[in-house]
Structure 1
Amino acid sequence: MSTENRTVCIVLTAGGVRLAEVLKRSTDCTVVSTKALEGVDRIEPDFKTLVKEAWLNFDHMIFFCSLGIVVRSIAGLMESKFTDPAVLAVDEQGTFCISVLSGHVGGANKLCERVAADLGAVPVVTTATDRKGLASLDMLMLKEGINPKYYRDEIVRVNSELVSGKQVMIFTQDSLTTDGPGFLIRSIGEAKKNSTGIWWHSSAPPEELSHLIWIETPSLTLGFGCKKDKSEDQIRLAVDSFLSENKLHLRQIRNIATIDIKAVEPGLINYAKNEKLIIDVIDRDLIKAMETEFEGSDFVESTIGIRAVAEPCAVLGSRGRLLTTRYAFEGVTLAIGGIK
């Protein structure tokens, strides 16, 4: 199932189609069903196959049927709250819209509010922090460009404290704003030996503050180049190998910097989306102005008009300096830039 949009509406009856058509007025979505109903974009006779393909190919799944059908159909597909798609259930009368799965990281809770407003339904969100109108650590991370999947235990611990009514200190040099009460933002210099809370910084806390929960803010840029049509899996393998060799971790990467022609590679787009990384396109003129500082390739120049990609993009994308040598792995070239 190939799609340009990232939302799928799964309908079983004509009533479900009518609701999906209302949603289509404001949402770019694909309507699928097991039946040849008017208004359906794609038909898959086997319901189990339909759900599995939608699960693998879409970020948002909206079922127009009973909650029981939804639960049974996705039970064998769920892996992690950090990677599963957002799932909603809307009854065929359009009375209730229920956030079923991936409320925070997957975006189901916000999607639920929006879909309910479009359909005139009652939004049903059961996530504890949302119900109490509190901020949450995972949502703050997403807002600040940090992938929550690397901090599973920390998120559970902090969100539990917030729900229990405690205020959590965050010591940082960044200008953080939260979506609700619960966090107290303080400067790094205010952290004391007896302080509790979160150390929000790219560097580890000093030894006397090592008891604080460390959220490592990403500060490095991954310069990227590749041969045409490299898949997401091939890119992932190259990046993992490169970072391992340089004793780095993906959670330290803030953005991917590359040239325009590589920024549209489907494999890179999917990789960046799944790792919640921004792709920054570096201007060709800026690259050409400094490409002689790095080892270039006649072949690359004959293909895209620039002799080097990964290294100058790493430097320009980080506004710093080159921190690693160029790394080549099966048609993928990588380099790290940063301010250190």
Structure 2
Amino acid sequence: MKAVLFSFTRQASLLSLTVQQSFLEEGISCTNYTIKKYAAVPNLLPLPAPLKEVVAEHFQKDTVLIFISACGIAVRSIAPFLKDKTKDPCVLVIDEKGQFVISLLSGHLGGGNLQAEKAASAIGATPVISTATDLNNRFSVDIFAKNNHLAISDRKIAKHISANILDGLPIGMDGILPDGNIPEGLTGTRNSVPPIGFSVSPFYQNKPFKETLFLIPKQIVLGIGCKKNTDIQALREFVNEILEEHSIFPEAIAAIASIDLKKEEPALLALSKELSVPFATYDARTLQKVKGQFTSSEFVRKTTGVDNVCERAALCYSHADSLYLRKTARNGMTIAISLLSFACHF
């Protein structure tokens, strides 16, 4: 995470130094912009371009934008770049007297509410939080998903869950049940089944509620073997068909694993980049030491030095006791799946 500060008056620029220091003390890099005539003070930088251009450069996820100014300046500056709550950074507004810190944008997923509270504490201000679940001290599915690194399957259903919680209606839970005290309004499927709820699962086949929101953990390890210069489109289609056949969310993929002979294989590197997941490789000796029952191939042993690549690589990465899916082969490509252990918490 990084922070970017904007100030436009002398008093605001001086206040920005205190805010900047609070971020730096947390190990967060912080760039502090002001107008040219106030930039002679150490740690204050003159705006290098018109404000909207500088905002455009920094308007990205994992960034905190802080305007020590009127709300209108902040709103007009960020308006052209707004996309949606899953992509927008958090934006804070602080008045130049340092009385209030407003969480203006992306209070939940972008961490704006938390950052507003931290900034307010640093300067002795009052944080201004407007998200309803926070104001009413109710469970927030957005925050729960963010804190546990879960992808949200359907934003519309997530909104319905928040609305039901605020209306005092029960919300069901299923799948990998979280540790900790159950928040008010949530109930497991062992009790009466509400019409709406969430399931923490990498699989979408089972829908325990009439309206089910899936919160998707990254648990799926794809062990892949393939012949040299495999076509990326063929591999992509093979992976997608395996996922669909087993009702697995693509967002649940945590890693790709193979033998080190394939560490420069273009199709595997491309797939790893497309999925934004690590690509791990192991030498034949390491793979051969993996314990378990595997689909052996004498041809693979002669070619690679180990009797099976995809199954052993999947287990080598996940350290699971067994495979979720044994080797499936097609046109010189093989895929096996193992599951990473996962726990979530309220």
Larger displacement relative to structure 2 (109-118 or 195-204):
195-204
Residue in 1 that maps onto 2:158 = 155
Q: Conserved in 2, the CA contact under 8 Å of 1:7 and 1:60? A: yes
Normalised to the residue count of structure 1, the TM-score between the two structures is: 0.69
How far has the Cα of 1:16 moved from its partner?
Answer: 3.0
Residue in 1 that maps onto 2:120 = 116
- How far apart in 2 are the matches of 1:108 and 1:179? 25
Instruction: Indicate the structure (1 or 2) with the bigger Cα radius of gyration.
Output: 2
How far has the Cα of 1:63 moved from its partner?
Answer: 1.4
- How far apart in 1 are the matches of 2:224 and 2:97? 49
Q: Conserved in 1, the CA contact under 8 Å of 2:171 and 2:186? A: yes
- Deviation by residue 1:119-168 (Cα, 9 ceiling, x = unmatched): 111100100000101111122222333113x3201111000011112232
Residue in 2 that maps onto 1:229 = none
* Aligned ranges 1:187-266 → 2 under 5 Å: 188=189, 190=190, 195-202=194-201, 203-204=203-204, 209=208, 211-215=210-214, 217-218=216-217, 219-222=219-222, 243-246=239-242, 247=244, 248-253=248-253, 255-256=254-255
* Letter matched to residue 33 of structure 2: S
Residue in 1 that maps onto 2:110 = 106
Could you say if the C-alpha distance between residues 337 and 18 of structure 1 is closer, same or farther in structure 2, counting changes exceeding 3 Å? Answer: farther
Q: Conserved in 2, the CA contact under 8 Å of 1:6 and 1:29? A: yes
Q: Conserved in 1, the CA contact under 8 Å of 2:310 and 2:327? A: no
Q: Secondary structure in 1 aligned to 2:134?
A: helix
- Deviation by residue 1:103-133 (Cα, 9 ceiling, x = unmatched): 1111111111111111111100100000101
Q: Secondary structure in 2 aligned to 1:25?
A: helix
Q: Secondary structure in 2 aligned to 1:76?
A: helix
Residue in 2 that maps onto 1:29 = 29
- Deviation by residue 1:221-260 (Cα, 9 ceiling, x = unmatched): 25699xxxxxxxxx9x99976643533532333x33679x
- Deviation by residue 1:70-129 (Cα, 9 ceiling, x = unmatched): 111111111111111111111111111000111111111111111111111110010000
Alignment match of 2:145 (pick from 118, 121, 141): 141
Q: Conserved in 2, the CA contact under 8 Å of 1:129 and 1:163? A: yes
How far has the Cα of 1:286 moved from its partner?
Answer: 5.1
Residue in 2 that maps onto 1:304 = none
* Letter matched to residue 156 of structure 1: K
- How far apart in 2 are the matches of 1:145 and 1:214? 15
Could you say if the C-alpha distance between residues 195 and 89 of structure 1 is closer, same or farther in structure 2, counting changes exceeding 3 Å? Answer: closer
How far has the Cα of 1:324 moved from its partner?
Answer: 6.2
Does residue 164 of the first structure (1) align with residue 143 of the second (2)? no
* Letter matched to residue 130 of structure 1: D
Could you say if the C-alpha distance between residues 81 and 217 of structure 1 is closer, same or farther in structure 2, counting changes exceeding 3 Å? Answer: closer
Number of residue-to-residue matches in the alignment: 300
- How far apart in 2 are the matches of 1:270 and 1:24? 36
- How far apart in 2 are the matches of 1:14 and 1:271? 46
Could you say if the C-alpha distance between residues 11 and 29 of structure 1 is closer, same or farther in structure 2, counting changes exceeding 3 Å? Answer: farther
Residue in 2 that maps onto 1:130 = 134
Could you say if the C-alpha distance between residues 118 and 34 of structure 1 is closer, same or farther in structure 2, counting changes exceeding 3 Å? Answer: closer
RMSD between aligned alpha carbons? Answer: 4.5
* Letter matched to residue 252 of structure 1: A
How far has the Cα of 1:50 moved from its partner?
Answer: 0.4
* Letter matched to residue 251 of structure 1: E
Q: Secondary structure in 2 aligned to 1:79?
A: coil
- How far apart in 1 are the matches of 2:279 and 2:119? 31
How far has the Cα of 1:47 moved from its partner?
Answer: 0.9
* Letter matched to residue 104 of structure 1: H
How far has the Cα of 1:64 moved from its partner?
Answer: 1.5
Q: Conserved in 2, the CA contact under 8 Å of 1:258 and 1:281? A: yes
Residue in 2 that maps onto 1:63 = 67
Residue in 1 that maps onto 2:344 = none
Q: Conserved in 2, the CA contact under 8 Å of 1:146 and 1:251? A: no
- How far apart in 2 are the matches of 1:283 and 1:47? 49
- How far apart in 1 are the matches of 2:143 and 2:241? 31
How far has the Cα of 1:288 moved from its partner?
Answer: 7.5
- How far apart in 2 are the matches of 1:126 and 1:269? 38
Q: Secondary structure in 2 aligned to 1:75?
A: helix
* Letter matched to residue 7 of structure 1: A
- How far apart in 2 are the matches of 1:214 and 1:105? 17
Residue in 2 that maps onto 1:13 = 9
- How far apart in 2 are the matches of 1:178 and 1:198? 17
Residue in 2 that maps onto 1:90 = 94
- How far apart in 2 are the matches of 1:108 and 1:239? 40
* Letter matched to residue 97 of structure 1: V
